[in-house]
Structure 1
């Protein structure tokens, strides 16, 4: 008599929890390393024309007016929020990889399939990232002694009271979803392509054998492809999320596109690109290395 073995379920709850933990640790590492660069980027992107001559001017004025702690303004929000966002990104991406792995019978995923995994993760994450980034950006762009918001909770309350959910808390959702879907598709596909190239080059090597410094390198390169691919969308998102809450200049994405192009041309969509690309390698290198090392420890 033959006994048919039941196929293991696609959803392994214990593995999902582990992915969430690994992603959270990766997100915390990303914030600690990348927050100063992000603060500079946001100020360059969103300040009125002529406020800053470039990234170095932002750094000088930040140091002079607010000191080193100015680079970590609004850090509590991303420390909690980005930890949550990256945990969603990595857990959904890992779930999708397991889904494809089961469908393909253990064969290596194609580059397009890796892209789909990342894009699905990005779309899911966009609904969490939009309000978190909106609050963070409002706090990052506060200057001077008079503050409109006394921390993330106060910021959330005031945005909700003045503009509600759709036009307030979730302002900038559309470009965030585009950025996250396309960007994370590129991001994770690049990383997995580099990992697979390494494994093919050294046939005796397993994924867990790849040293942390190489994981950092692959993560940094993935960060470069992410931001090169979607940076103009991020500028649009930042413009919407720093627009006046009471007397908005823009009705939506199309208005931002027209305004930026009319005043600054194509280069207007790349304001703040230098600090972003400088941030990409250390922040994303730290993210992937922290995730992979955490997963090795808990699996």
Structure 2
């Protein structure tokens, strides 16, 4: 994301060329997102799915001591290839939805009345949320299996003798086989992923747009004049809002995507997972690992916005 979330490149045409730029910039931001966030993510997943660690520091120390520094990048290949595509889809879908809503408002402007002008006037924040939710839903078809494979690789036992999967493709093959096919195996947890993505990215884009529009109005400047360091700051704050709004869904997703198969399966459904978690741990169980997640969110989201912004400015 970046100031690109309405980059006042937005005043330019929203045809195929602009969509291609949105997709390319999003892919660059996605790669930055993975490289910055992977060490935080593995600590988050270990805390969500294991009782072995008392805190984020305990988990990080244990991983470093027992598995070495490279363990913080376990399962990176899959997200590195996939998250770039996911973030690309997020930006492409968000901007497409935004342009659609802007054009709809322009077409609905009453004759002789105040006309809505895309790039000059802004959408309502509810409309920004809808565009962001659409981006999240569009992204789910890729993010669900990618995150499933990443979580399986992050949580498998350490050491060559104990490894369950030799790599991402072996993991895909085994999940499909053990789960009874690609859809039930590889796409486990997709229902809760869909809810998480819609809520998370609706709030992400909404928060960023509110911060950017407020800054532009306060300083009486165009959005494109907001400096990059502020774009990164607002992106980081939007990342915090994203996780605070969607974290319980993420916990349930992680539990379902590390669950066993067949006789070893603990959770029958998303609803069952929510119920079991609440009965066993109360509301606290839905917030395990939130500390490292929020620590990760600021630099990751800020980095994503900054890279997308610089890329968009360069190619425009």
Query: Partner residue of 2:149?
Result: 135
Query: Partner residue of 1:153?
Result: 169
Native 8 Å contact 1:159 1:169 kept in 2: yes
What value does the CA root-mean-square deviation take over the aligned residues?
1.2
1:160-199 matches, within 5 Å, as 160-163=176-179, 164-199=181-216
Whole-angstrom distance in 1 between the partners of 2:105 and 2:313:
24
Q: Which moved more, 1:91-100 or 1:274-283?
A: 91-100
Whole-angstrom distance in 1 between the partners of 2:233 and 2:261:
40
1:38-57 matches, within 5 Å, as 38-47=41-50, 49=51, 51-57=52-58
Whole-angstrom distance in 2 between the partners of 1:111 and 1:81:
29
Native 8 Å contact 1:44 1:58 kept in 2: yes
Query: Partner residue of 1:7?
Result: none
Residue 242 of structure 1, aligned match among 258, 265, 268: 258
Whole-angstrom distance in 1 between the partners of 2:305 and 2:14:
23
SS of residue matched to 1:249: coil
The number of aligned residues is 287
Whole-angstrom distance in 1 between the partners of 2:122 and 2:78:
38
Q: How far apart are 1:36 and its partner, in Å?
A: 0.5
Residue 301 of structure 2, aligned match among 276, 284, 287: 284
Whole-angstrom distance in 1 between the partners of 2:289 and 2:122:
38
Is 1:19 matched with 2:13? no
Q: Which moved more, 1:230-239 or 1:160-169?
A: 160-169
Is 1:121 matched with 2:124? no
Native 8 Å contact 1:19 1:91 kept in 2: yes
Query: Partner residue of 1:271?
Result: 288
Q: Deviations over 1:100-124 (max 9, x none)?
A: 2222232310100100100011111
Residue 275 of structure 2, aligned match among 254, 258, 263: 258
Q: How far apart are 1:210 and its partner, in Å?
A: 1.8
- TM-score, normalization by structure 1: 0.93
4+ residue segments displaced more than 4 Å: none
1:58-137 matches, within 5 Å, as 58-105=59-106, 106=117, 107-137=121-151
Native 8 Å contact 2:175 2:185 kept in 1: yes
Residue 215 of structure 1, aligned match among 226, 231, 235: 231
Q: How far apart are 1:18 and its partner, in Å?
A: 0.7
Q: Which moved more, 1:206-215 or 1:27-36?
A: 206-215
Structure 1 unaligned blocks of 5 or more: 1-9
Q: How far apart are 1:166 and its partner, in Å?
A: 2.3
Structure 2 unaligned blocks of 5 or more: 1-12, 107-116
SS of residue matched to 2:96: helix
Query: Partner residue of 1:224?
Result: 240
Native 8 Å contact 2:43 2:59 kept in 1: yes
Native 8 Å contact 2:157 2:164 kept in 1: no
Q: Deviations over 1:145-174 (max 9, x none)?
A: 210101111100111122112221100000
Whole-angstrom distance in 1 between the partners of 2:150 and 2:228:
30
Residue 29 of structure 1, aligned match among 22, 27, 32: 32
SS of residue matched to 1:250: coil
